[in-house]
Amino acid sequence: MKILGLITVYAAFLASAVWFKPRAFVVISASMEPAVSKGSLVLTLPFGKYEVGDIVAFEHIRESVVTHRIIAAKNLAQGYLYSTKGDANNYEDAAPVSDKKVIGKVIASIPFAGNILGNPWAFILLVYFPLGFSLGVQVRAVPRCL
């Protein structure tokens, strides 16, 4: 019965990932402090439209991703064009961002998690090891249930 519950939770998690398309990014600069600290892990979800004040992740030059706040929005015939700025920066970003380049709105920021998860050994220790252990315990319980 526990395995069925575990499979159901896992399936719901996968379905939500497919349906909502969440993405996670590690913040590598201090440009958004104090709202988002360097080394944080930010979770984003795509929305149809973004508002002034939203913190968004967007595609920048050379396939990099930037996480900044929207400070102005223009509604054009082709879609929206956003002006963005890091909270700690003195000036807004040089180029406006097309709504087609916006990956999603930041819905959560986990301080220091990016530093930990960016390290492969820490990721194995904190994610894979506990997950493998819990699955192993569940699998060992199967023969007793039969």
Q: How many residues are present in the chain?
A: 146
Encode burial over 43-63: b for 16+ CB neighbours within 10 A, e otherwise: bbeeeeebeeebbbbbeeeee
Taking CA atoms, 71 is separated from 39, 48, 84, 103, 140, in Å, by 23, 17, 5, 17, 54
Catalytic, 29? Answer: yes
Task: Given the residues 16, 29, 37, 98, select the one marked as catalytic.
Answer: 29
* DSSP string covering 51-77: -TT-EEEEE-GGG-EEEEEEEEEEEET
Instruction: Classify residue 125 by its DSSP letter.
Output: I
Question: Active-site positions?
Answer: 29
